[in-house]
């Protein structure tokens, strides 16, 4: 018989670029991390308060402004800086993303915990495994939510979308690294649920099993086929 879950998990659409922010935490501890808090920081904090959940940190998938705040095309997006003003917490990023994060958001080095791939954050009965998935940016990371006897949740940022993957034609992008990162994600069990960083599809989630069958970027037979898909 499956055990009851300690997982607190929320997906929230934010902003004008179809971004998805997340909260990952523990019901028994009543604590959670905010993933990619941008566009509507107060809305995310209000949701946590309504759910009687204390936010204890921010998790960053990658340093692009639509995920962490900053100026883009002359438009100011609120994000980590606004979060730290209202509710100071540590920011967890891959160590390769720290310099870009400081440049884009203006937060200081002392606010950021730079992680290696494979690090684990534990919150109650919930583990959040940091999977380094370079390609879209050098320090892109996905979060695998692990809990005993439960199916995993993969919060994938701009690495993997439903039937798509992140752009690899941006500064710091690396198409070959993206191919390897997707190969890594393909090793996750089929019952893992994918939660993307943007709502580019009618549904906001899918199983990895379905994605392995239908997502052309996961189905590329070789790195050369993948690179030709990506125009690289
Ligand atoms: Fe991005």
In this prediction, residue 100 carries a pLDDT of 97
Q: What is the mean pLDDT of residues 47-68?
A: 98
Indicate yes or no: pTM above 0.95: yes
In this prediction, residue 3 carries a pLDDT of 63
Q: What is the mean pLDDT of residues 20-32?
A: 98
Ligand 1 centroid to Cα of residue 9, in Å, is: 22
Residue 231 in this model has a pLDDT that exceeds 90: no
Give 56-118 as a DSSP string. EEEE-S---HHHH-EEETTEEEP-HHHHHHHS---EEEEGGGHHHHHHHH---GGGEEEE-TT
Ligand 1 centroid to Cα of residue 28, in Å, is: 33
Residue 78 in this model has a pLDDT that exceeds 70: yes
CB 107 within 8 A of CB 59: no
Residue 223 in this model has a pLDDT that exceeds 60: yes
Q: How many CB atoms lie within 10 A of CB 28?
A: 12
Ligand 1 centroid to Cα of residue 3, in Å, is: 36
Ligand 1 centroid to Cα of residue 167, in Å, is: 8
Residue 26 in this model has a pLDDT that exceeds 80: yes
In this prediction, residue 232 carries a pLDDT of 74
- Ligand 1 is an ion; its neighbours by CB within 5 Å are 64, 158
Query: Which residue segments constitute the domains of the chain, with CATH numbers given?
Result: 7-229 (3.60.15.10)
Ligand 1 centroid to Cα of residue 229, in Å, is: 19
Q: Tokens representing 65?
A: 């402004």
Residue 68 in this model has a pLDDT that exceeds 60: yes
Q: CA quadruple 214, 184, 122, 196: dihedral positive or negative?
A: negative
Using one digit for the tens of pLDDT, what is the confidence trace for 101-156? 999 999 999 999 999 999 999 999 999 999 999 999 999 999 999 999 999 999 99
> What mean pLDDT value characterizes the chain?
96
Q: What percent of the chain has pLDDT over 90?
A: 96
Q: Tokens representing 13?
A: 């659409």
């Amino acid at each position: 018989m499956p055990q009851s879950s300690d997982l607190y998990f929320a997906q929230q659409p934010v902003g004008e670029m179809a971004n998805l922010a997340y909260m990952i935490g523990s019901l028994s501890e009543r604590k959670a991390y905010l993933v990619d808090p941008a566009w509507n920081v107060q809305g995310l904090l209000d949701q946590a308060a309504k759910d009687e959940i204390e936010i204890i940190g921010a998790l960053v998938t990658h340093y692009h402004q639509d995920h962490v705040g900053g100026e883009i095309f002359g438009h100011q997006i609120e994000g980590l800086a606004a979060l730290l003003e209202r509710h100071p917490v540590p920011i967890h990023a891959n160590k390769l993303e720290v310099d870009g994060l400081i440049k884009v958001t203006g937060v200081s080095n002392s606010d950021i915990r730079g992680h290696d791939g494979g690090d684990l954050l534990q919150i109650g009965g919930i583990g959040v495994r940091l999977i380094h998935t370079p390609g879209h940016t050098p320090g892109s990371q996905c979060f695998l939510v692990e809990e005993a006897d439960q199916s995993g949740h993969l919060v994938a940022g701009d690495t993997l979308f439903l039937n798509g993957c992140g752009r690899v034609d941006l500064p710091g992008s690396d198409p070959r690294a993206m191919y390897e990162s997707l190969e890594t994600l393909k090793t996750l069990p089929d019952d893992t649920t994918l939660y993307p960083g943007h709502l580019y599809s009618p549904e906001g989630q899918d199983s990895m099993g379905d994605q392995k069958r239908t997502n052309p970027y996961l189905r590329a037979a070789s790195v050369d086929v993948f690179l030709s898909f990506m125009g690289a």
